Structure 1
């Protein structure tokens, strides 16, 4: 989106985020708004520049978290009672249930990561293995020189570059998109301090062994291909028996069960899409299912409804 009109900027940016108040600080200054936006099912990557000193009042975001990484210029952010100067070394993370006011300088350009609140809470519950004690609230200030800050900045920047190259959130949603959205949510939870950081630290979830990770990577990269157990074992550099034991120990499932469930999750993700939603046959075949009857049976067993019923009132995820 490109515009110099204040009302259009307020309306169109609001469509992607939420209703907000937008005002030009210097009455006679001209806007030169540029907003690039690409979205998956639960998150979006954005570039935003107003081209003038502006004040922004979104109130409470409500349904999403918003990580704002300045690329140039600065912004004064008030959130959760904190006053933060955001610049090249300091990002901000806005929580959905706390009010925010912002003042952006005319040369302020930001990279924004928006993540759905329910999706993040689901990822957190899976990470800690139990129900959350309450809403997740992150520290508002993100030090981009810290280990976690550097890592999250690099990850969001890599996602923006992938989106520019047409490799992320482009066309029908794919298994690779699912994985990126999962990793973005986990990165926020593990790299940025929050009120559940101590619970995450106590949860004994060490990183996957290198060869098991290689096997999982191979599965995600080949959802549409007719792969067999021996293919997974060969790619991971393991014999079949060791692979099976490793998956049982790590996931409580066989490698082929993990493959099937990952394919089902990818198909479900695509069928829940709000845009460019595939038909059931396409979702099945694009994720490695060649038998539609078996696909429907396994899908219903995993999600409680048939593929053709997906999206009729179900909550995403």
Structure 2
């Protein structure tokens, strides 16, 4: 799969600079504090950084235009999935060292240090995934909290079947953003579904220290009716849909759907729908920009009764709904 182009997300610029200190400061704001050095003093730094943010995931295009060394130490609060578009980068992580290029990507884990050496012509798509969100998806997938920090194998081979699937999924996300079909403001249920699906793909396709738990849990083969039901829910958060509508979309009868949801989530389909709506409303009220009123957030996520919305919200999040100041 060819992903290379001049740049991605040029309508969402973060940084254009030739100054080393500015590059270190601005990139640190988006990722984490790190050390940045130009390897060849005679090289001219030329940084291009574009980025688009969802709720639990941000997608970045980054090029330094010179050979640089990046030392972030431990990432802390996020995983970083790196897809090179051109050039090469040496990556040291978890005691291993490898060279990333268009055929091989990498995943960096939050609690292990990393050291990266970008080649002069190296350009990458960087997917920054909140570790708390990844752990939530893993818990839903396996039916139990992870026994400890989730750690992926660093190397993602895009020439092998699972690596190809991951590359296609994340490349499709980048293409949808580039075409204006994803992560526009305000975020929609479809955006949240894409974030979930990308993390689900990572957990089920990339080897990690919980791969054996996922294999035993049957989560890696979630029933077709569950998948279709969830897709229908996310696409219709604002609509007054019923369990009959959800069952029809999943192409099963209501009893079968109820049993599937109770087995996988220990909740009914309507309880899962309500939680999904509450999560979407919570995000809207805590967005960085264009924050709606509480009533607007409630109505846009399918709640028509403000009293019940406030009660459900308090139960789920421990406080009444309010806009982030």
TM-score, structure 1 normalization: 0.90
2:163 to 128, 133, 149: 149
1:177 to 168, 188, 191: 191
Aligned to 2:148: 134
1:282 aligns with 2:307: no
How many residues are treated as equivalent by the alignment? Answer: 311
List per-residue Cα deviations over 1:97-127 (Å, max 9, x = no partner).
2221111111111111111122222222222
TM-score, structure 2 normalization: 0.87
- Is the contact between residue 33 and residue 51 of structure 1 (CA under 8 Å) also seen in structure 2? yes
Q: Which runs of 5+ in 2 are unaligned?
A: 1-14
1:93 to 104, 107, 116: 107
For 1:295-306, what aligned pairs fall within 5 Å after superposition? 295-306=309-320
List per-residue Cα deviations over 1:279-314 (Å, max 9, x = no partner).
211110111111211211222233332212x769xx
Report the alpha carbon displacement of residue 77 of structure 1 after superposing the two structures with TM. 1.1
Distance 1:94 1:237, change over 3 A: closer
1:4 to 18, 30, 39: 18
For 1:1-317, what aligned pairs fall within 5 Å after superposition? 1-205=15-219, 207-308=221-322
2:197, 2:185 → 1: CA distance?
Answer: 20
Range with greater deviation from structure 2 (12-21 or 263-272): 263-272
Considering only aligned residues, what root-mean-square deviation do their CA atoms show, in Å? 2.2
2:111, 2:179 → 1: CA distance?
Answer: 34
2:226, 2:108 → 1: CA distance?
Answer: 35
Range with greater deviation from structure 2 (296-305 or 226-235): 226-235
1:242, 1:133 → 2: CA distance?
Answer: 31
Distance 1:98 1:249, change over 3 A: closer
- Is the contact between residue 141 and residue 220 of structure 2 (CA under 8 Å) also seen in structure 1? no
1:252, 1:134 → 2: CA distance?
Answer: 23
Report the alpha carbon displacement of residue 250 of structure 1 after superposing the two structures with TM. 4.6
List per-residue Cα deviations over 1:45-90 (Å, max 9, x = no partner).
1111111111111122112111111111101111112110111111
- Is the contact between residue 77 and residue 100 of structure 1 (CA under 8 Å) also seen in structure 2? yes
Distance 1:302 1:9, change over 3 A: same
